Amino acid sequence: MSTSTSRQQAAASSPPLLVLYDDGTNADHQRRTTLYSVADDVHRPYDIDDELLRTKRSWVTTSHGGWVLTFDPETLATFLWNPHATTNVITLPSFGQSPPTLKASCTLSNKPTSRRFTVVMVDTNSNVMWYCHVSSPAAVSSSLSSWTKQEYDDDDDELRSICCLAPSPCGGDGKFYYLISRGLYGVLDFSAPDQPVFGTVRLKPISLFAMNDILVYSPFLLDINGKLCRVFIFHGDTCNIVIDVAIDRVDIEKQRHTAIRSIGDRAILVGGTHDFAGWCRASCHGLLPNSIYWMNPRDSTLRVYRIGHNTEEIRTRLIVSPTPSSNLCPAQQ
């Protein structure tokens, strides 16, 4: 790819997209949380109740605005909070003495402000997941189900370890999707009263790359304006060289994929060690329109791609070495 040095210079009219990560330990051997502003390429300390993250275990959710799930190992309290409005806190049942690992990913079926939603956590590279149902946030203390920890059978190729879990655009139907192969998706359905039901759905695959069908790629699923989409970053084994990027719509009902040539005034942000995927209005947050921002989990660089332009811009190296808590936290759309 050729190199482009073009940057979006317009100032963000609201909080910019942020990269949330732990950059190691200080002289007191305490974890530190730092923010990196994607819009203006500036690192800054996280000065909004740093105690909230420094002494607790946290996971950035991969859907519905980047809410953060936090577990306090001292009090065992577990809660969701909005990094853009830290007074917005939703109490969840406690994990007890055995919370998920920092490598787990967290996904919400619907906005935390909705009447009912499901929280799902999947431990990366394992067959273990946690979930709980939350309803009526106005009376959240009396309307919580406890966390359920469940092991699922991943011996079947069609039920392999879940990754890139994305909620159905119809958030109320209790379904989540994850990519198994180019034309095969796993379905995790929480609409049943007893326990989640696993299934699969096949879609007609499309050619991912004209030169070679055997490629190493990083896939991501996300909801863009009520449409389920997938993003591919095509790269080599080391992730140091990116060959191309692509995005297409996933139409479950019609069982087909449709290539997307432009996303207009939107910027997609994907990557990190938790396979985050989200988007925002580019012009509102000082980002490049019709672009994909990828946080490379191998070297923690931020790379920017203009869809259809075959250009790459490598931004700053975000941290010295990737850590389990490296993640992305979007601005409000």
Confidence of residue 51 (pLDDT cuts 50, 70, 90): low
SS3 141: helix
- Residue 2, pLDDT above cutoff 80: no
**Whether the predicted pLDDT of 198 surpasses 50:** yes
Q: Which residue has the tokens 């909070």?
A: 81
Q: Provide the pLDDT for residue 136.
A: 60
Neighbours of 8 (CB within 10 A): 19
Q: What is the pLDDT of residue 209?
A: 57
Domain ranges of the chain: 2-329
CA end-to-end distance (rounded Å), the chain = 30
Of the ranges 35-39, 139-143, 184-188, 281-285, which is most confident?
Answer: 184-188
**Cα 243 from Cα 223, distance rounded (Å):** 25
CA–CA distance, 17 with 39 (Å, rounded to integer): 7
Report pLDDT digits (tens) over 72-112.
Answer: 988 999 999 887 776 778 999 999 888 998 888 889 998 88
Cα(245)–Cα(241) distance, rounded to whole angstroms?
12
More confident residue, 93 or 123: 93
pLDDT per residue as tens digits for the range 274-325: 778 888 889 888 899 999 999 887 777 889 999 988 888 987 665 544 444 4
Whole-model pTM above 0.85?
no
Cα 282-307-314 angle, rounded to 5 deg: 80
Query: Domain 2-329 class?
Result: mainly beta
Residue pair 279/269 in contact by the 8 Å Cβ criterion: yes
- CA angle 162–218–167, rounded 5-degree value: 45
Tell me the average pLDDT across 245-270: 92
Least confident of 69-73, 83-87, 139-143: 139-143
